[in-house]
């Protein structure tokens, strides 16, 4: 067994020469209470905690060799048990995704799954009991290796524990899908494997791992290993009996799987296969036949590794993890000026959310202004309520809540309020002349070095700043509603914006913990331009005569967070109409203005569908307003039209230099519009579906980026 495994892994290691290799050090110790000699395997890649331990093929081979050694010792009666732990702060964070990306053939992908199983399963088959001590972060294969052990302990200090595979486009394929439901029951397993994963990769902390029953014991972080070894000794002596609740194998199992399918449908609408494949294995695991479960995991893993969704998922993961941290085109950060006080003009929907964010993240005084006291009070009141919510949830303590509240004040007098502000952001109505007037007023009262920022969704920043004495200090700072949830911040450089102002904007964005993307001063920037273009095509189909329900279902196979009409309702028909008007003025041949939408706005309707109805149902009043033609397209035709339009618009944006690369457009759509990882934002999807070539004559990304290498 071990020789075959060794050969399998050797072959796989040749495909992945740059692996950061994890060592598996074996040391021996005497367990307390004269229980006997014990072998402890420590996983360590030789780096500090900033480079977490992973499992590539050479790492698995090292663990395999360590198990060879302890297997022999166990067989010969030299040890009473085997433990497995990690380096400080990290247990192990699973398969090395860089290696997964390199796999080109189904059989190689299958070998990776089989290799992991073959090594990990040996921990269950040893002649002595095995113990996993989850001392730090454990994810994916890191969690799974422990599931093969006889017992598990977890540290209170574990900050992150979970199975993020489904989130990325994989299944927990080294035992997770088959073992976890048999350990903690199908319902809890579905929560960990599917629900948490699809919920923006929600991770567990040490105490939750214990409460779920994944670990048999929970110990303080400070002397975790010592306590775990003492517990191990007591278990081996029979002083502690580990009793696990019986797993319910009746209807509860099927209901759990059905619940998981519902969660997957709600999140990805059938558009990405990973969650469904994982649930099929969980369903089959009811029989308790682990061998069959592991085989099913190998097949699912290999299929998914060779599929486009995973490649897009890894690409998207790298964008939000890496590119987001080093924004393309940002000036040298040493040019940034400190910000010690913030002014906010307007106290409406966006402005009050911005005041909350600035106060919470920068912890500097924030002053809100508006046209009357009532609006100002409402804005400040909103922030105070939000802080109270944080207090209730235990996210801040009373002292911090008091301090944050004291930082946010309101004023009707800009001259006094902004006299010592370093950064003033306006979020008043979307009107050029109003914004120009506001900036002129603000410029007259703020210090020389202050930055003037605008949250405009579509207007030209260059024009907005054109009448100022110092247009070089104006930047676009475009947030997305809801501000607390959507991470994106489009930072717009106008024609005369200088490097110091831009550097300050990026430094503020970092302190606000936002994903900043540098964008050229072009109509509607990135997200709104793409959304408006595709929404425009859907509305055009409706205006021409395609039934609303057909047009609205057309994009369903992409698994977007919501349908076009629901998106329109969320943005607000009036705002959407306004933005399409701005884009129509800039690019009349590509952006239409829907007359039917105009009628909806004029009638003051906020919804097109009857609110609260179980199925989308067009409001009869809206239907009465609609005047349509008689050209009826199919869902497929509407989809083709909308996707071609997106591809064309993205190509034009790249040609115009709106952003540095296609990657930035994808990052914007993922973090500003919640577009799914399995699409990789949008360009990997357009490439793999052949839309890019059809609509623009070429791909957006090099072959091999976000796709299987040739
Ligand atoms: P809103 O109507 O909720 O708020 C605008 C506020 O500006 C109102 O309270 C109004 O009284 C105030 N105001 C108007 N004139 C003023 C003046 N002279 N001095 C001080 N205050 C004045 O609007 P909103 O949705 O918060 O949008 C504000 C800006 O943010 C717009 O430019 C909009 O395009 C942009 N934006 C909106 C969203 C969104 O989803 N709503 C998202 C991103 C950006």
Asked whether residue 362 is assigned to any structural domain, the reply reads: yes
Looking at the structure, tell me whether residues 106 and 224 fall in a common domain: yes
Distance 476 CA to ligand 1 centre (A): 15
Residue 325 is assigned to a structural domain of this protein: no
Q: What pLDDT shows up at residue 109?
A: 92
Q: Which tokens in the block code for residue 513? A: 């913990």
**Closest ligand 1 atom, residue 457 Cα:** 34
Task: Determine which helix (DSSP H) or strand (DSSP E) holds 81, and give its type and residue range.
Answer: strand 81-86
* Tokens read off for 155: 């540290």
Residue nearest ligand 1's atom 9 by CA: 348
What's the gap in Å between 471 CA and the centre of ligand 1?
22
Q: Among 345, 348, 531, which is best to mutate for testing ligand 1, by the most ligand atoms less than 8 A from CB? A: 348
Mutate to test the pocket of ligand 1, among 349, 355, 488, 568 (most ligand atoms within 8 A of CB): 349
Tell whether 505 and 452 lie within a shared domain: yes
Roughly how many angstroms between the first and final C-alpha of the chain, as a whole number?
A: 33
Same domain, 234 and 205: yes
Q: How much distance in Å is there from the Cα of 273 to the middle of ligand 1?
A: 41
Output the domain CATH number for residue 175. Answer: 3.90.226.10
Beta strands in 118-157, from DSSP E residues, in sequence order: 130-134, 137-139, 151-155
Do both 533 and 511 map to the same domain? no
359, 486: one domain:
yes
Give residue 276's pLDDT.
98
Instruction: Tell me if 192 is assigned to some domain.
Output: yes
Which protein residue's CA is at the shortest distance from atom 5 of ligand 1? 428
- The predicted pLDDT at position 1 comes to 47
Q: In the numeric block, which tokens belong to residue 578? A: 């306004």
CB hemisphere CA count around 206 (13 angstroms) = 21
If one residue of 344, 346, 456 were mutated to test the ligand 1 pocket, choosing by the most ligand atoms within 8 A of its CB, it would be 346
Q: Ligand 1: distance of its center to the CA of 649 in Å?
A: 28
Distance 479 CA to ligand 1 centre (A): 12
Task: Indicate which CATH number applies to the domain containing 599.
Answer: 1.10.1040.50
Contact between 61 and 26 (Cβ < 8 Å): no
Range of the domain at 435: 333-520
Q: Whose CA is nearest to atom 29 of ligand 1?
A: 427
Assess if residue 692 is contained within a domain: no
Ligand 1 pocket test, candidate residues 378, 427, 431, 492, most atoms within 8 A of CB: 427
- Residues 6 or more apart from 421 whose CB is under 8 A from it? 341, 342, 343, 367, 446, 447, 450
Domain end position, chosen among 488, 520, 552: 520
What pLDDT is attached to residue 3? Answer: 63
> What is the distance in A from the centroid of ligand 1 to the CA of 639?
34
Nearest-atom number in ligand 1 for the CA of 375 is: 9
CA dihedral in degrees (272, 273, 274, 276; nearest 10)? 120
pTM across the whole model = 0.90
User: CA 226, CA 449: separation in Å to the nearest integer?
Assistant: 56
Ligand 1 pocket test, candidate residues 373, 374, 376, 428, most atoms within 8 A of CB: 428
- Clarify whether residues 373 and 508 are in a common domain: yes
Q: Do 544 and 645 belong to one domain?
A: yes
Give the number of domains in the chain: 3
Q: How far is the CA of 671 from the centre of ligand 1 (A)?
A: 22
Q: Which atom of ligand 1 is nearest to the CA of 379?
A: 9
| Ligand 1 atom closest to Cα of residue 351 | 26
The Cβ of residue 325 has, within 10 Å, a number of other Cβ atoms equal to 10
- Which atom of ligand 1 is closest in space to residue 426's alpha carbon? 29
**How far away, in angstroms, is 431 Cα from ligand 1 center?**
9
Residue 101: the pLDDT is: 84
In angstroms, what is the span from residue 351 Cα to ligand 1's centroid? Answer: 7
State the helix-helix crossing angle for 176-184 and 290-305, rounded to 10 degrees: 140
In a domain, 221, yes or no: yes
Instruction: Please give all residues whose beta carbon lies within 6 A of any atom in ligand 1, as ranges.
Output: 345-351, 369-371, 375, 427-430, 434, 438, 455-457, 479, 481
Same domain, 489 and 532: no
Atom of ligand 1 nearest to the CA of 438: 18
Alpha helices in 269-327 (DSSP H): 274-284, 290-305, 308-321
pLDDT confidence of residue 97: 85
The sheet with strand 408-411 has its strands ordered as: 408-411, 366-369, 342-345, 423-426, 451-454, 474-479, 488-493, 515-520
Distance 622 CA to ligand 1 centre (A): 27
Question: Is the same domain home to 572 and 488?
Answer: no
pLDDT at 346: 96
Q: Which atom of ligand 1 is nearest to the CA of 369?
A: 20
* pLDDT at 11 (0 to 100): 84
Strand partners, 18: none
Q: Which residues of the chain have pLDDT under 50?
A: 1
Ligand 1 centre to CA of 572 (Å) is: 14
Domain presence at residue 587: yes
Tell me, yes or no, whether 588 and 606 share the same domain: yes
* Ligand 1 pocket test target in 370, 376, 410, 489 with most atoms within 8 Å of CB: 370
Whether 372 and 434 share a structural domain: yes
Distance from residue 407's CA to the centre of ligand 1 (Å): 22
């Amino acid at each position: 067994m071990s020789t075959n495994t060794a050969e399998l892994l050797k072959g796989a290691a040749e495909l992945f020469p740059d692996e950061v290799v994890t060592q598996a050090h074996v040391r021996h110790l005497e367990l307390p209470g004269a229980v006997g000699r014990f072998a402890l395997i420590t996983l360590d890649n030789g780096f500090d905690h900033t480079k977490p331990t992973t499992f590539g093929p050479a790492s698995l081979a090292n663990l395999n060799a360590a198990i060879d050694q302890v297997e022999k010792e166990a067989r010969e009666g030299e040890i009473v048990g085997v433990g497995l732990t990690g380096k400080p702060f990290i247990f192990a964070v699973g398969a090395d995704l860089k290696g997964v990306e390199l796999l080109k053939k189904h059989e190689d992908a299958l070998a990776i799954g089989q290799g992991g199983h073959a090594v990990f399963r040996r921990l269950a088959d040893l002649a002595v009991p095995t113990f996993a001590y989850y001392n730090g972060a454990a994810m994916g294969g890191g969690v799974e290796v422990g599931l093969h052990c006889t017992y598990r302990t977890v540290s209170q200090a574990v900050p992150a524990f979970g199975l993020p595979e489904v989130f990325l486009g994989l299944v927990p394929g080294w035992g997770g899908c088959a073992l976890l439901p048999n350990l903690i029951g199908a319902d809890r397993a579905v929560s960990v494997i599917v629900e948490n994963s699809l919920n923006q990769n929600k991770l567990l902390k040490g105490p939750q791992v214990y409460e779920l029953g994944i670990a048999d014991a929970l110990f303080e972080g400070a002397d975790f290993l010592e306590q775990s070894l003492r517990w191990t000794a007591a278990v081996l002596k029979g002083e502690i009996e580990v009793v696990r609740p019986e797993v319910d194998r009746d209807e509860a199992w099927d209901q759990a799987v059905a619940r998981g399918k519902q969660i997957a449908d709600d999140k990805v609408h059938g558009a990405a296969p990973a969650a469904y494949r994982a649930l099929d294995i969980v369903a089959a695991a009811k029989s308790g036949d682990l061998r069959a479960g592991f085989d099913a995991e190998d097949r699912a893993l290999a299929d998914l590794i060779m599929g486009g969704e995973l490649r897009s998922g890894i690409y998207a993961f790298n964008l939000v993890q890496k590119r987001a941290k080093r924004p393309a085109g940002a000036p040298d950060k040493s040019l940034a000026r400190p910000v010690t006080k913030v002014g906010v003009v307007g106290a409406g929907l966006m402005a009050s959310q911005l005041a909350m964010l600035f106060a919470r993240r920068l912890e500097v005084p924030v002053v809100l202004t508006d046209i009357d006291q009532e609006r100002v009070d409402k804005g400040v009141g909103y922030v105070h309520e939000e802080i109270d919510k944080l207090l209730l949830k235990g996210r801040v303590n009373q002292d911090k809540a008091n301090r944050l509240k004291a930082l946010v004040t309101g004023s009707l007098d800009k001259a006094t309020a902004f006299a010592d502000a370093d950064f003033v952001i306006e979020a008043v109505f979307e009107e050029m002349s109003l914004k120009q007037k506001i900036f002129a007023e603000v410029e007259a009262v703020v210090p020389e070095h202050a930055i003037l920022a605008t949250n405009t969704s579509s207007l030209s920043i260059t024009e907005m700043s054109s009448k100022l004495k110092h247009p070089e200090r104006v930047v676009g700072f475009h947030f997305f509603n809801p501000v607390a949830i959507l991470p994106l911040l489009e930072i717009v450089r106008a024609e005369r914006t200088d490097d110091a102002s831009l550097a300050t904007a990026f430094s503020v964005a970092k302190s606000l913990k936002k994903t900043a993307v540098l964008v050229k001063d072009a109509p509607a920037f990135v997200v709104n331009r793409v959304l408006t273009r595709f929404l425009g095509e859907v509305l055009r189909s409706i205006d021409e005569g395609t039934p609303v329900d057909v047009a609205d279902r057309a994009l369903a196979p992409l698994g977007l967070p919501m349908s076009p009409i629901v998106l329109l309702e969320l943005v607000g028909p009036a705002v959407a109409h306004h933005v399409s008007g701005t884009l129509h003025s800039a690019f009349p041949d590509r952006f239409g203005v829907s007359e039917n939408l105009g009628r909806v706005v004029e009638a003051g309707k906020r919804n097109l569908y009857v609110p609260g109805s179980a199925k989308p149902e067009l409001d009869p009043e809206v239907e009465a307003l609609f005047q349509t033609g008689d050209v009826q397209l199919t869902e497929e035709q509407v989809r083709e039209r909308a996707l071609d339009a997106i591809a064309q618009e993205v190509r034009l944006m790249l040609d115009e230099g709106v952003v540095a690369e296609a990657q930035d457009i994808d990052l914007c759509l993922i973090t500003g519009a919640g577009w799914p990882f399995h699409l990789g934002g949008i360009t990997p999807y357009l490439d793999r579906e052949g839309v890019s070539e059809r609509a623009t004559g070429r791909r957006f990304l090099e072959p091999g980026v976000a796709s299987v290498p040739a």
